[in-house]
Protein backbone atom coordinates (compact mmCIF):
# COMPACT_ATOMS: atom_id res chain seq x y z
CA UNK A 1 0.00 0.00 0.00
CA UNK A 2 1.02 3.59 -0.60
CA UNK A 3 0.36 6.30 1.97
CA UNK A 4 0.91 10.04 1.98
CA UNK A 5 2.14 11.32 5.34
CA UNK A 6 2.30 15.05 6.08
CA UNK A 7 5.33 15.84 8.20
CA UNK A 8 5.14 19.13 10.13
CA UNK A 9 8.40 19.43 12.09
CA UNK A 10 7.64 22.86 13.60
CA UNK A 11 9.97 24.54 16.09
CA UNK A 12 12.79 23.78 18.52
CA UNK A 13 13.46 20.06 18.83
CA UNK A 14 10.49 19.31 16.53
CA UNK A 15 12.61 18.74 13.39
CA UNK A 16 15.11 16.50 15.23
CA UNK A 17 12.52 14.21 16.74
CA UNK A 18 10.24 13.97 13.68
CA UNK A 19 13.14 13.05 11.42
CA UNK A 20 13.93 10.07 13.65
CA UNK A 21 10.29 8.94 13.53
CA UNK A 22 10.36 9.25 9.73
CA UNK A 23 13.44 7.00 9.57
CA UNK A 24 11.54 4.43 11.64
CA UNK A 25 8.56 4.77 9.29
CA UNK A 26 10.69 4.19 6.19
CA UNK A 27 12.18 1.08 7.76
CA UNK A 28 8.66 -0.18 8.51
CA UNK A 29 7.90 0.45 4.83
CA UNK A 30 10.87 -1.68 3.78
CA UNK A 31 10.14 -4.51 6.18
CA UNK A 32 6.39 -4.71 5.55
CA UNK A 33 6.17 -3.64 1.91
CA UNK A 34 4.51 -0.23 2.21
CA UNK A 35 5.39 3.03 0.50
CA UNK A 36 5.26 6.12 2.67
CA UNK A 37 5.47 9.33 0.71
CA UNK A 38 6.45 12.03 3.19
CA UNK A 39 5.51 15.62 2.34
CA UNK A 40 6.83 18.35 4.61
CA UNK A 41 4.90 21.48 5.62
CA UNK A 42 5.32 24.56 7.79
CA UNK A 43 3.65 25.21 11.15
CA UNK A 44 4.37 27.31 14.24
CA UNK A 45 7.08 29.91 14.68
CA UNK A 46 9.06 28.81 11.65
CA UNK A 47 5.90 29.25 9.54
CA UNK A 48 5.37 32.77 10.95
CA UNK A 49 8.97 33.66 10.08
CA UNK A 50 8.65 32.41 6.51
CA UNK A 51 5.03 33.24 5.63
CA UNK A 52 3.60 35.48 8.35
CA UNK A 53 1.09 32.80 9.38
CA UNK A 54 1.43 30.07 12.02
CA UNK A 55 -0.69 27.79 9.82
CA UNK A 56 -0.26 28.69 6.14
CA UNK A 57 -3.17 27.56 3.88
CA UNK A 58 -0.79 25.21 1.99
CA UNK A 59 -0.11 23.33 5.23
CA UNK A 60 -3.79 22.84 5.88
CA UNK A 61 -4.27 21.67 2.29
CA UNK A 62 -1.34 19.27 2.62
CA UNK A 63 -2.80 17.84 5.84
CA UNK A 64 -6.23 17.40 4.25
CA UNK A 65 -4.82 15.52 1.27
CA UNK A 66 -2.67 13.17 3.37
CA UNK A 67 -3.52 9.91 5.13
CA UNK A 68 -2.20 11.24 8.44
CA UNK A 69 -0.11 14.04 9.92
CA UNK A 70 3.07 13.65 11.97
CA UNK A 71 3.93 16.79 13.94
CA UNK A 72 6.95 17.75 16.03
CA UNK A 73 6.30 20.73 18.29
CA UNK A 74 5.49 24.43 18.11
CA UNK A 75 6.68 27.31 20.27
CA UNK A 76 9.55 29.76 20.34
CA UNK A 77 10.40 32.19 23.16
CA UNK A 78 10.91 35.00 20.67
CA UNK A 79 7.12 35.18 20.34
CA UNK A 80 6.55 35.38 24.13
CA UNK A 81 5.62 39.09 24.16
CA UNK A 82 1.89 39.14 25.09
CA UNK A 83 1.31 41.98 22.61
CA UNK A 84 2.23 39.74 19.66
CA UNK A 85 -0.94 38.64 17.83
CA UNK A 86 0.29 35.68 15.79
CA UNK A 87 1.83 33.06 18.08
CA UNK A 88 3.26 29.66 17.11
CA UNK A 89 0.69 27.91 19.33
CA UNK A 90 -2.14 29.36 17.21
CA UNK A 91 -0.98 27.12 14.38
CA UNK A 92 -1.44 24.00 16.46
CA UNK A 93 -4.79 25.08 17.86
CA UNK A 94 -6.04 26.02 14.37
CA UNK A 95 -4.98 22.78 12.73
CA UNK A 96 -6.69 20.78 15.51
CA UNK A 97 -9.88 22.84 15.10
CA UNK A 98 -9.82 22.89 11.29
CA UNK A 99 -9.32 19.16 10.98
CA UNK A 100 -11.94 18.51 13.70
CA UNK A 101 -9.46 16.52 15.79
CA UNK A 102 -11.62 16.40 18.89
CA UNK A 103 -10.21 13.26 20.53
CA UNK A 104 -6.69 13.45 21.93
CA UNK A 105 -5.40 10.08 23.11
CA UNK A 106 -2.39 10.20 25.42
CA UNK A 107 -1.29 6.77 26.64
CA UNK A 108 0.83 6.63 29.78
CA UNK A 109 2.86 3.49 30.25
CA UNK A 110 5.49 2.87 32.89
CA UNK A 111 8.30 0.77 31.45
CA UNK A 112 9.92 -1.57 34.00
CA UNK A 113 13.30 -0.58 32.54
CA UNK A 114 12.82 3.02 33.64
CA UNK A 115 11.68 2.32 37.21
CA UNK A 116 15.14 2.67 38.74
CA UNK A 117 15.67 6.21 37.57
CA UNK A 118 12.07 7.30 38.17
CA UNK A 119 11.35 10.36 40.26
CA UNK A 120 8.47 8.55 41.93
CA UNK A 121 8.58 5.40 44.03
CA UNK A 122 8.98 2.29 41.89
CA UNK A 123 6.57 0.22 44.02
CA UNK A 124 3.83 2.82 43.47
CA UNK A 125 4.19 3.33 39.72
CA UNK A 126 5.31 -0.14 38.55
CA UNK A 127 2.85 -1.53 36.01
CA UNK A 128 0.83 1.68 35.63
CA UNK A 129 -0.75 1.64 32.18
CA UNK A 130 -3.62 3.95 31.26
CA UNK A 131 -4.76 6.29 28.55
CA UNK A 132 -6.01 9.84 28.73
CA UNK A 133 -8.76 10.93 26.37
CA UNK A 134 -8.52 14.69 26.30
CA UNK A 135 -11.23 16.74 24.57
CA UNK A 136 -9.31 18.89 22.09
CA UNK A 137 -11.48 21.31 20.13
CA UNK A 138 -13.71 22.96 22.71
CA UNK A 139 -13.79 23.88 26.41
CA UNK A 140 -11.67 26.60 27.93
CA UNK A 141 -9.33 26.72 24.90
CA UNK A 142 -12.00 27.72 22.38
CA UNK A 143 -15.13 28.85 24.30
CA UNK A 144 -16.52 32.34 23.64
CA UNK A 145 -16.36 34.97 25.01
CA UNK A 146 -12.60 34.91 24.88
CA UNK A 147 -11.19 38.40 24.99
CA UNK A 148 -9.38 41.15 26.80
CA UNK A 149 -10.62 44.70 27.26
CA UNK A 150 -9.97 47.91 29.16
CA UNK A 151 -12.35 49.57 31.57
CA UNK A 152 -12.14 52.65 33.81
CA UNK A 153 -11.34 50.30 36.70
CA UNK A 154 -8.55 48.50 34.83
CA UNK A 155 -7.88 45.74 32.32
CA UNK A 156 -10.08 42.66 32.22
CA UNK A 157 -9.91 39.34 30.40
CA UNK A 158 -12.14 36.31 30.02
CA UNK A 159 -11.93 32.71 28.74
CA UNK A 160 -15.01 30.50 28.75
CA UNK A 161 -15.30 26.83 29.59
CA UNK A 162 -18.05 26.15 27.08
CA UNK A 163 -19.43 22.74 26.08
CA UNK A 164 -22.41 21.49 24.15
CA UNK A 165 -23.91 18.14 25.03
CA UNK A 166 -22.93 16.83 21.56
CA UNK A 167 -19.28 17.71 22.20
CA UNK A 168 -19.36 15.97 25.56
CA UNK A 169 -21.16 12.94 24.22
CA UNK A 170 -18.74 12.25 21.37
CA UNK A 171 -15.63 12.49 23.55
CA UNK A 172 -17.12 10.42 26.35
CA UNK A 173 -18.01 7.76 23.77
CA UNK A 174 -14.36 7.63 22.72
CA UNK A 175 -13.54 6.92 26.36
CA UNK A 176 -16.08 4.12 26.59
CA UNK A 177 -15.01 2.56 23.29
CA UNK A 178 -11.36 2.51 24.36
CA UNK A 179 -12.23 1.16 27.82
CA UNK A 180 -14.15 -1.64 26.13
CA UNK A 181 -10.94 -2.75 24.38
CA UNK A 182 -8.95 -2.52 27.62
CA UNK A 183 -9.77 -3.21 31.27
CA UNK A 184 -13.32 -1.82 31.00
CA UNK A 185 -12.99 1.02 33.48
CA UNK A 186 -13.63 4.64 32.55
CA UNK A 187 -12.84 7.57 34.85
CA UNK A 188 -14.55 10.81 33.89
CA UNK A 189 -12.75 13.80 35.36
CA UNK A 190 -14.53 17.10 36.02
CA UNK A 191 -15.03 19.87 38.59
CA UNK A 192 -18.76 19.29 39.08
CA UNK A 193 -18.71 20.66 42.63
CA UNK A 194 -18.01 24.13 41.19
CA UNK A 195 -18.44 24.35 37.41
CA UNK A 196 -21.72 24.30 35.49
CA UNK A 197 -20.01 22.88 32.38
CA UNK A 198 -18.74 20.03 34.56
CA UNK A 199 -22.22 19.29 35.87
CA UNK A 200 -23.44 18.96 32.28
CA UNK A 201 -20.36 16.83 31.50
CA UNK A 202 -21.14 14.45 34.36
CA UNK A 203 -24.81 14.18 33.44
CA UNK A 204 -24.03 13.40 29.80
CA UNK A 205 -21.38 10.87 30.84
CA UNK A 206 -23.99 9.08 32.96
CA UNK A 207 -26.43 9.08 30.05
CA UNK A 208 -23.86 7.68 27.60
CA UNK A 209 -22.88 5.00 30.11
CA UNK A 210 -26.29 3.34 29.64
CA UNK A 211 -25.04 2.16 26.23
CA UNK A 212 -21.96 0.59 27.81
CA UNK A 213 -23.18 -1.71 30.60
CA UNK A 214 -19.93 -3.70 30.31
CA UNK A 215 -17.80 -0.66 31.26
CA UNK A 216 -17.60 0.67 34.82
CA UNK A 217 -17.87 4.46 34.93
CA UNK A 218 -16.50 6.44 37.86
CA UNK A 219 -16.41 10.22 38.32
CA UNK A 220 -13.45 11.99 39.83
CA UNK A 221 -12.94 15.67 40.61
CA UNK A 222 -9.95 17.08 38.79
CA UNK A 223 -8.09 18.04 41.98
CA UNK A 224 -8.55 14.54 43.38
CA UNK A 225 -7.42 13.11 40.05
CA UNK A 226 -4.21 15.15 40.20
CA UNK A 227 -3.47 13.52 43.55
CA UNK A 228 -4.55 9.98 42.62
CA UNK A 229 -2.33 9.96 39.54
CA UNK A 230 0.68 10.08 41.85
CA UNK A 231 -0.77 8.09 44.75
CA UNK A 232 -2.51 5.16 43.00
CA UNK A 233 -1.70 5.33 39.27
CA UNK A 234 -2.39 1.63 38.71
CA UNK A 235 -6.09 2.23 39.47
CA UNK A 236 -6.60 4.00 36.15
CA UNK A 237 -7.52 2.44 32.83
CA UNK A 238 -9.11 5.14 30.63
CA UNK A 239 -9.54 8.74 31.78
CA UNK A 240 -11.75 11.16 29.83
CA UNK A 241 -11.67 14.87 30.51
CA UNK A 242 -12.03 18.48 29.37
CA UNK A 243 -9.39 20.17 27.19
CA UNK A 244 -7.52 22.20 29.84
CA UNK A 245 -7.82 19.58 32.58
CA UNK A 246 -6.35 17.06 30.12
CA UNK A 247 -3.52 19.38 29.16
CA UNK A 248 -2.44 19.82 32.78
CA UNK A 249 -3.00 16.25 33.98
CA UNK A 250 -1.06 14.69 31.09
CA UNK A 251 2.05 16.74 31.82
CA UNK A 252 1.77 15.52 35.39
CA UNK A 253 1.26 11.92 34.26
CA UNK A 254 4.35 12.07 32.05
CA UNK A 255 6.43 12.00 35.23
CA UNK A 256 5.19 8.45 35.85
CA UNK A 257 6.64 7.45 32.50
CA UNK A 258 9.94 9.07 33.46
CA UNK A 259 9.94 12.05 31.11
CA UNK A 260 7.80 14.14 28.79
CA UNK A 261 10.03 12.64 26.13
CA UNK A 262 8.28 9.29 26.55
CA UNK A 263 4.64 10.32 25.95
CA UNK A 264 3.06 10.11 22.48
CA UNK A 265 -0.33 11.36 21.42
CA UNK A 266 -2.94 10.91 18.73
CA UNK A 267 -5.49 13.59 17.88
CA UNK A 268 -8.34 11.92 16.06
CA UNK A 269 -11.31 13.12 14.03
CA UNK A 270 -13.44 10.12 14.95
CA UNK A 271 -13.93 7.23 17.31
CA UNK A 272 -11.11 4.69 17.08
CA UNK A 273 -12.11 1.15 16.19
CA UNK A 274 -10.17 -1.94 15.12
CA UNK A 275 -9.53 -2.05 11.39
CA UNK A 276 -10.89 1.47 10.75
CA UNK A 277 -8.92 4.34 9.23
CA UNK A 278 -9.48 7.43 11.39
CA UNK A 279 -7.86 10.62 10.18
CA UNK A 280 -5.46 11.96 12.79
CA UNK A 281 -2.53 14.11 13.74
CA UNK A 282 0.23 12.53 15.79
CA UNK A 283 2.66 14.38 18.02
CA UNK A 284 4.70 13.96 21.19
CA UNK A 285 3.07 15.68 24.19
CA UNK A 286 6.27 17.61 24.91
CA UNK A 287 6.89 21.08 23.54
CA UNK A 288 9.62 22.58 21.38
CA UNK A 289 12.18 22.61 24.25
CA UNK A 290 14.14 25.54 22.73
CA UNK A 291 16.97 25.31 25.27
CA UNK A 292 18.05 21.86 24.04
CA UNK A 293 17.19 22.33 20.35
CA UNK A 294 19.90 21.46 17.82
CA UNK A 295 22.07 19.66 20.38
CA UNK A 296 21.14 16.10 19.39
CA UNK A 297 20.09 15.28 22.96
CA UNK A 298 16.27 15.33 22.77
CA UNK A 299 14.46 12.05 23.33
CA UNK A 300 12.78 10.96 20.06
CA UNK A 301 10.83 8.10 21.69
CA UNK A 302 7.62 10.12 22.24
CA UNK A 303 7.54 10.92 18.52
CA UNK A 304 8.45 7.38 17.51
CA UNK A 305 5.61 6.08 19.71
CA UNK A 306 3.34 8.70 18.09
CA UNK A 307 4.25 7.12 14.76
CA UNK A 308 3.16 3.78 16.18
CA UNK A 309 -0.23 5.35 17.01
CA UNK A 310 -0.40 6.76 13.46
CA UNK A 311 0.12 3.30 12.00
CA UNK A 312 -2.54 1.85 14.31
CA UNK A 313 -5.34 4.42 14.12
CA UNK A 314 -5.02 6.13 10.73
CA UNK A 315 -3.56 3.32 8.62
CA UNK A 316 -5.00 0.32 10.50
CA UNK A 317 -1.54 -1.32 10.44
CA UNK A 318 -1.71 -3.02 13.82
CA UNK A 319 1.21 -5.41 13.25
CA UNK A 320 3.46 -2.58 12.16
CA UNK A 321 2.35 -0.41 15.11
CA UNK A 322 3.18 -3.18 17.56
CA UNK A 323 6.55 -3.74 15.87
CA UNK A 324 7.49 -0.11 16.58
CA UNK A 325 6.45 -0.41 20.24
CA UNK A 326 8.38 -3.65 20.57
CA UNK A 327 11.49 -2.08 19.07
CA UNK A 328 11.35 0.83 21.53
CA UNK A 329 10.90 -1.57 24.40
CA UNK A 330 13.83 -3.72 23.20
CA UNK A 331 16.15 -0.70 22.93
CA UNK A 332 15.26 0.31 26.50
CA UNK A 333 15.82 -3.28 27.66
CA UNK A 334 19.23 -3.21 26.01
CA UNK A 335 20.08 -0.27 28.30
CA UNK A 336 20.12 2.69 25.90
CA UNK A 337 18.86 6.02 27.29
CA UNK A 338 18.68 9.63 26.22
CA UNK A 339 19.76 12.10 28.91
CA UNK A 340 16.21 12.78 30.16
CA UNK A 341 15.69 9.14 31.22
CA UNK A 342 19.18 8.11 32.23
CA UNK A 343 20.04 6.89 35.70
CA UNK A 344 23.83 6.82 36.14
CA UNK A 345 23.65 4.25 38.93
CA UNK A 346 22.27 1.47 36.74
CA UNK A 347 25.02 1.14 34.15
CA UNK A 348 22.90 2.24 31.22
CA UNK A 349 24.37 3.78 28.08
CA UNK A 350 23.65 7.39 27.17
CA UNK A 351 22.87 8.11 23.53
CA UNK A 352 21.78 11.15 21.54
CA UNK A 353 18.69 11.76 19.42
CA UNK A 354 20.03 10.31 16.18
CA UNK A 355 21.62 7.31 17.79
CA UNK A 356 18.38 6.50 19.61
CA UNK A 357 16.62 6.68 16.23
CA UNK A 358 19.20 4.34 14.68
CA UNK A 359 18.85 1.86 17.55
CA UNK A 360 15.07 1.70 17.11
CA UNK A 361 15.44 1.31 13.32
CA UNK A 362 17.88 -1.57 13.88
CA UNK A 363 15.65 -3.22 16.50
CA UNK A 364 12.62 -3.32 14.18
CA UNK A 365 11.58 -6.81 13.18
CA UNK A 366 9.66 -7.66 10.02
The residue ranges that bind Mn ion (CB under 5 A) are 247
> Using CB atoms, what's the residue nearest to ligand IPM?
89
Residues 234 and 127 sit within 8 Å (Cβ to Cβ): yes
Q: Which of 3, 111, 141, 313 is catalytic?
A: 141
The mark string for 155-194 relative to ligand IPM (x by CB under 6 A, - otherwise) is ----------------------------------------
Measured distance CA(108)–CA(250) in Å, rounded: 8
DSSP for residue 52: S
Binding partner selected for residue 237 from ligand IPM, Mn ion, none, CB under the kind-specific 5 to 8 Å limit: none
100 noted as active-site residue: no
Q: Which of 223, 295, 319, 349 is catalytic?
A: 223
Residue 238: which of 55, 50, 105 has the closest Cα? 105
Report how far apart, in Å, the C-alpha atoms of 336 and of each of 182, 184, 344 are. 30, 34, 12
Q: Is 285 in the site for ligand IPM (CB under 6 A)?
A: yes
Binding partner selected for residue 89 from ligand IPM, Mn ion, none, CB under the kind-specific 5 to 8 Å limit: ligand IPM
Q: In angstroms, give the least distance from the CB of 111 to ligand IPM.
A: 21
Is the Cβ of residue 217 or residue 249 nearer to ligand IPM in the bound state?
249
Q: Is 60 in the site for ligand IPM (CB under 6 A)?
A: no
212 noted as active-site residue: no
Report how far apart, in Å, the C-alpha atoms of 231 and of each of 85, 98, 228, 244 are. 41, 38, 5, 22
Measured distance CA(56)–CA(91) in Å, rounded: 8
Three-state secondary structure string covering 266-306 = EEECCCCCCCCCCCEEECCCCCCCHHHCCCCCCCCHHHHHH
> Using CB atoms, what's the residue nearest to Mn ion?
247
Q: Is 92 in the site for ligand IPM (CB under 6 A)?
A: yes
| 225 SS3 class | helix
Q: Which of 129, 235, 251, 343 is catalytic?
A: 251
Angle at alpha carbon of residue 9, lines to 21 and 266, rounded to 5°: 65
223 noted as active-site residue: yes
Q: Is 247 in the site for ligand IPM (CB under 6 A)?
A: yes
Q: In angstroms, give the least distance from the CB of 50 to ligand IPM.
A: 19
64 noted as active-site residue: no
Residues 187 and 253 sit within 8 Å (Cβ to Cβ): no
Report how far apart, in Å, the C-alpha atoms of 212 and of each of 48, 176, 181, 204, 299 are. 45, 7, 12, 13, 38
Q: Which of 11, 76, 247, 340 is catalytic?
A: 247
251 noted as active-site residue: yes
Among the listed ranges 32-40, 89-97, 156-164, 199-207, the one in contact with ligand IPM (CB under 6 A) is 89-97
Distance, C-alpha 156 to centroid of its chain: 32
Among all residues, which ones are annotated catalytic?
141, 191, 223, 247, 251
Positions touching ligand IPM (CB under 6 A) are: 74-75, 89, 92-93, 247, 285, 287
Amino acid sequence: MKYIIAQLPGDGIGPEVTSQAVRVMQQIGKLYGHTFEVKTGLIGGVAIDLTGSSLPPETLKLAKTSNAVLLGAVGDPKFDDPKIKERPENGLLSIRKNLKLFANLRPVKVYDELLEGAMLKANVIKGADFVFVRELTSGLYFGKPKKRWETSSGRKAVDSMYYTEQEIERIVRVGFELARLRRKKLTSVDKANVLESSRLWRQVANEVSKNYPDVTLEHLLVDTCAMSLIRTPRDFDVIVTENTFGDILTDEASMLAGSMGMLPSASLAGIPAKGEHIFGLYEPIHGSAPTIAGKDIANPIATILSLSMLLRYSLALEKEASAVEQAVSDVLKAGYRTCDIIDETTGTKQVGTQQMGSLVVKALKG
